[in-house]
Amino acid sequence: MKNTLIFIVAMVTAGAAGFAVQRYLATDATPASDPASRFLKTDSSNPVLGQTRPEFAMKDLEGNIRNIRDWDGQVILLNFWATWCPPCLEEIPHFMDVQEAMQGKGLQIVGIAVDNEEDVRQFATDMGMNYPVMAGEAEAIELSQKYGNSIGGLPFSAVIDQNGKITHTITGELSKKRLISILEQLGLTV
């Protein structure tokens, strides 16, 4: 019962923080060249930038244990999201497009849902998600914090280079155009 209460408080706090971040970012001045970027905050002062990625292993939706080391040598987009988060759902089709275009070219997108496994499984099946997805509740929140999500906002993405270093953290919706720009900075061509 205590764990359930802690989880509920954490989810409400994360949801409220995500909503607050989205409202804040929506009012932030951004270039008109990418209208979706008004929902994006690249966290250039995040203390995890340049650090080696934290190790983790989680069960994917097929029941297989996946370790972050499974994708060593590739650029990894680690995306924290939830089925109840509208900006999260907006970026997933773009991630699917990029993952398809980059198949075998050095990119792996990994989704970690801050949500219950049943809802995530249904959503991933309905969407036909083409990259590994894991679901965790409190575990996913803790992991996102290790990757620099200090405010608990969703969506939250961390980009990890081929050497295992965190190069970017993004709070808010990540547009396809911005993702492609980040990948190009890391030497990948979409």
> Can you give the residue ranges of every domain in the chain?
2-185
- Per-position DSSP letters for 82-114, written without gaps between them: -TT-HHHHHHHHHHHHHHHHTTTTTEEEEEEEE
State residue 116's pLDDT score: 95
Compute the average pLDDT of residues 22-33. 38
pLDDT in tens, 5-15: 344 434 444 45
What CATH homologous superfamily does 2-185 map to? Glutaredoxin (3.40.30.10)
For residue 155, say if its preceding peptide bond is cis, omega within 30 degrees of 0. yes
Tell me, letter by letter, the H, E, C secondary structure of 4-69. Answer: HHHHHHHHHHHHHHHHHHHHHHHHCCCCCCCHHHHHEEECCCCCCCCCECCCCEEEECCCCEEEHH
Higher pLDDT, 41 or 86: 86
pTM: 0.79
